[in-house]
Structure 1
């Protein structure tokens, strides 16, 4: 083959590769000029649109039917305050003191409230433990306690060491009530030992019961080492003693005994109360104490008429060293109680329907939550009252008046519980919020 013929053959091969079947090109077109694959593409588009529509319907259904988040109750304040104040009371400039209104709360304190010897105020706990294990009904005398020769020996020792005593004789019989009167009114140290042995079998066992009772009452800074208070290791704070005084005066037998100015006993005869302020200035108890280490001490109950009802002001004064020390403690207590009296009144702390918080939702709805009843308390200007809130589980929507929780108002050792409700209906979420909340 010549060079020219070879070149022509290669040119023809290139042409064939560029257009292998020119005579059959028309087979790739439909009769009306459209590509043969167009119908398949349109079918695929319809499937895609159907899938999208179904997915949208499913999404709307799921979002519309899924549970909505619950509402939330937000409590406003944890401290309520009575308008006015502060009080200006004649707190003692030595020792320590505290005063509270029974059922309403603490008025105030003086001093660092560190544990101090409490002398014969110890006998308040001695009497409470005896009455706890050997309760008396009002007016009952209780079991008989027979004085032993050992009890007489204790009495003679206490006389020799110039302690506060009640005369006894071997074979003398005292009822439980008489023994408690001998303990609390003339403040017989020897009678504290008699009662401890009788009630618990031994003085150490009885002291253990005293400390257990102190722990049960929440007297965290109080410790007893004996039943009489002679040992200065028996210590407390005025704050603890105020709580002890409230518990003691709640026992009608105890309260009736400490309210007596005198009592007559079989051997000792007529004995008198060291609380010289008893039945003066409203003082109805509770217990004095004094010695060289403790100074003058007084746990007192001042009864005040507020709105025609008796109100008890419980206070404690410890560590008064100005002679005569017992009179110093009594005068400090009376001055405090008298200064507080004009400021005590029944005041409205919460009104019925008063808002105490807000119920809110993630979608922006909110309604006030209110107390269903008001609360009036005996109070003084500037008093602060702690409160708290216990919510219930809420739904996403609420009708008007639905219970949303309980407000706890803490007044001293007492807690008052007030129902809290929605002030008006709380709507649930709209469809628009549900569709956009992911």
Structure 2
């Protein structure tokens, strides 16, 4: 039996009244506000990161064109007749005397040789196929001689290589060999003349008309400008350029013949063809090679209609007015810097205000003369977000007249870095 003095009676635990909850309202409110704040902050921070960065923009800071500084060359044009002067792969130095078609005498033979060599190409030093002088061509020789034509002696059955025939045409200016070549190529002189005119039309020689392959007929007419067009094309044929630069050659029957163009070998002159008749006066299509900045540059020109009583006087006059043209062109042409290494060419603006420059890596130089217009083109690919300092990116090129473009690479100045996440968030606050 338990002792009543030590016995503890535990009554029933009272239950909580209905609807009673522990008092935690303030904590829930604070927790909710903190959660909303964190969510809002996260959304605010992430929002600018959802959008891609804008592509860096490039603004050119160099002009689209410029003029080579200095005084433009004064070309000593002849007082009479026509003249035209150009520098291969650079541009024209101009022309004088108008553009009326005039007789061109044996300058005609440039087209004769050009047609022959395009139909029957020769390499340098190659003699090519053989042609035989017909009885009819040999029989025509006395009559041609009685007219004081420029000829080489021929006999029926004589054999010339293509090269020898062209040498006869271009050096001593043999009219009879021009006719022999025409018949050999086309079957008749008329058919060959048609080829000459078709070729002139194809080359854009709009003021030229040929009536014979020798130039003896005054009905063959052209202009100095048109003859420069043809000469430039002809000088690109290796055998043509080789033949017209010769001072002499050895031919069947005739033996050694000399070039009527006495300027060959002087002032860099390497051809091309003389011409003289009463109707045409003294004529010369010429080419000269000059050295500019370690490069060889070809000057091509034509002078027509120089006065004189006979061939020696006419040719002396045309040589006298041609020399200053060649020398002026040689003195005028030079190497000119248009952009210097390190020059700023463009400004690059990256996202969020980042900036760098694109600068020329090397000097950009052109061949030309003072007063010539130079076009400057910039080619810059899309700039990435990150462009290290000195990294090559794009290029600048220069074009003068009809020259081949020259270019130099561009490189970045200071580095262009993509903005950090923090910069992007901070910038959008």
Q: TM-score, normalised by structure 2?
A: 0.72
Deviations 1:278-311 (A, max 9, x none): 3334433211112233322111123445567654
Contact in 1 for aligned 2:53/2:351 (Cα 8 Å): no
What displacement does 1:142 show? Answer: 0.9
Question: Which residue in the other structure is 2:363 paired with?
Answer: 374
Change (3 A) 1:209 1:343: same
Work out the CA distance in 2 between the residues paired with 1:325 and 1:310. 31
Counterpart contact for 1:388–1:408, Cα < 8 Å: yes
Q: CA deviation at 1:367?
A: 5.5
Q: Would the alpha carbon gap of residues 395 and 339 (structure 1) be closer, same or farther in structure 2, given more than 3 Å must change?
A: closer
Aligned CA distance change for structure 1 residues 386 and 344 (closer, same or farther; 3 Å): closer
Q: Does 1:249 align with 2:239?
A: no
Aligned to 1:416: 406
Q: Secondary structure at the match of 2:234?
A: helix
1:188 matches 2:178: no
Shift of 1:180: 0.5
Deviation larger for 192-201 or 221-230: 221-230
Indicate which of 73, 83, 102 corresponds to 2:88: 102
CA distance in 2 between partners of 1:421 and 1:204 (Å) = 62
Contact 1:104 1:377 (8 Å CA) reproduced:
no
Distance in 2 of aligned mates of 1:98 and 1:106 = 8
CA shift for structure 1 position 211: 4.5
**1:313 corresponds to which residue?**
299
Deviation at 1:176, TM superposition (A): 0.6
Q: Is the 8 A contact 2:68 2:374 kept in 1?
A: no
Query: Aligned partners of 2:184 and 2:72: how far apart in 1?
Result: 49
Q: From the superposition, tell whether residues 71 and 252 of structure 1 become closer, same or farther in structure 2 (CA, over 3 Å).
A: same
Superposed CA offset, 1:309-348 (max 9, x none): 6543322212223543222211110122234444554443
TM-score, L = length of structure 1:
0.71
* 1:139 partnered with 2:117: no
Distance in 2 (CA, whole Å) between partners of 1:175 and 1:206 is 19
Give CA deviations for 1:103-131 in whole Å, capped at 9, x if unaligned: 43333332334544333222222222222
Where does 1:21-420 land on structure 2 (aligned, <5 Å)?
65=51, 68=54, 71=57, 74=60, 76-214=62-200, 217=203, 219=205, 221-306=207-292, 310-323=296-309, 324-356=313-345, 368-380=357-369, 382-389=370-377, 391=379, 394-395=382-383, 397=385, 399=387, 401=391, 403-404=393-394, 407-410=397-400, 412-420=402-410
Alpha-carbon spacing, 1:204–1:350, altered in 2? closer, same or farther (3 Å): farther
Q: Which moved more, 1:327-336 or 1:295-304?
A: 295-304
Q: For residues 335 and 395 of structure 2, what CA distance do their matches in structure 1 show?
A: 27
Distance 1:245-1:370 versus aligned 2 partners, 3 A rule: farther
2:33 aligns to what?
Answer: none
Distance in 1, Cα, partners of 2:55 & 2:382: 10
Whole-angstrom CA distance in 2 between matches of 1:398 and 1:161: 82
Q: Is the 8 A contact 2:381 2:393 kept in 1?
A: no
SS in structure 1 opposite 2:249? strand
Q: Secondary structure at the match of 1:87?
A: coil
CA distance in 2, matches of 1:330, 1:211: 28
**Shift in Å at residue 146 of structure 1?**
0.8
| RMSD of aligned residue pairs (Cα, Å) | 4.1
Measure, in 1, the Cα distance between the counterparts of 2:198 and 2:353: 53
2:5 aligned partner: none
Task: Quickly say closer, same or farther: Cα 1:349–1:133, change in 2 above 3 A.
Answer: farther
Show structure 1 runs of 5+ residues with no match.
1-52
Q: Distance in 2 between matches of 1:417 and 1:143?
A: 45
Unaligned runs of 5+ in 2: 1-39
Contact 2:282 2:317 in 1 (8 A): yes
Quickly say closer, same or farther: Cα 1:320–1:354, change in 2 above 3 A: farther
Contact 2:344 2:359 (C-alpha < 8 Å) held by counterparts: yes
The alpha carbon displacement at 1:230 in A equals: 3.3
- Give the total of aligned pairs: 384
- Per mean C-alpha deviation after superposition, the further-off stretch among 291-300 and 421-430 is 421-430
- Distance change in 2, residues 1:408/1:88 (3 Å): closer
Q: Is the 8 A contact 1:64 1:431 kept in 2?
A: no
1:336 match: secondary structure = helix
Deviations, residues 193-229 of structure 1 (Å, cap 9, x unaligned): 2222323444454445444544565555544444323
